[in-house]
Amino acid sequence: MKLSGHRKQSLWFAFILHRISGLVLALFLPLHFWVLSLALRDPAALDGFLSWTDFWYVKLAEYGLVFLLSVHFFGGLRLMALEWLPWSPAQKTYAASALAAGFALATSFFLSATIYG
């Protein structure tokens, strides 16, 4: 997908961010579920996984996932507001706010994980 001229507009980026985040989350889910189900079968293995989270790059990946979740969440709320509430001309502002909010939520998660964790 070449970034041709018509895509160079902020709300198209908001769309692609929502899509990529949803896609990555969906791909991550089976892994997530599998890891958790280890709790029953092999708690030690789960701990092994969890201890990975001490590595910075795993932390970063984790941060990424939480960011994607929160940005997809706010983006989703934005889309449903667009669809169901009376039209507002401030769509670009909303998209930017959703991004900022997602960023803020993920960062606070990241900070609490690095400070306390």
Partner 1 sequence: MPDSLPAKEQLLDVHIWRGSGEEGSYQTFQVPLQESQTILDVVSYIQQYIDTGLSYRFACRVGMCGSCAMMVNGVPRWTCRTHVKKITDGMRPADGLTISPLRNLPVIKDLVVDMDLFFDKWVRAEAVHHPTRTARDAIQPVEEETAERQAANAAIECINCAVCYAACDVVASNPDYLGPAALNRAWSLVNDVRDGGREAILQAVSGTGGCHNCHSQQSCQKYCPNELNPTASIAGLKRESAKYAMRSLLSLAGSGKKGEKA
Partner 2 sequence: MISARLYILQRATALIMAPLVIGHIAVMIYAVQNGLSAAEILSRTQGSFFWAAFYGLFALAVAIHAAIGLRAILHEWAGLKGALLTAICWGIALGLGGLGLQAVYSVTG
Q: Which residues bind ligand HEM (CB under 6 A)?
A: 18-19, 22-23, 25-26, 29, 69, 72-73, 76-77, 79-80
Q: What is the DSSP letter of 54?
A: T
Which residue stretch of 6-14, 45-53, 90-98 sits at the interface with partner 2 (rule: CB under 8 A)?
A: 45-53
55-73 burial code (b ≥16 CB/10 A, e <16):
eeeebeebbebbbbbbbbb
Query: Least distance from C-beta 33 to partner 2, angstroms?
Result: 4
53 contacts partner 2 (rule: CB under 8 A): yes
Cβ neighbors of 62 (< 8 A, separation 6 or more) are: 53, 110, 113
Q: Are 24 and 68 a contacting pair, CB within 8 Å?
A: yes
Query: Least distance from C-beta 11 to ligand HEM, angstroms?
Result: 12
Provide the token pair at 7. Answer: 């895509």
Q: Which residues bind partner 2 (CB under 8 A)?
A: 19, 22-23, 25-26, 29-30, 32-34, 36-41, 43-44, 46-47, 50, 53, 66, 69-70, 73, 76-77, 80, 83, 105, 108-109, 112-113, 116-117
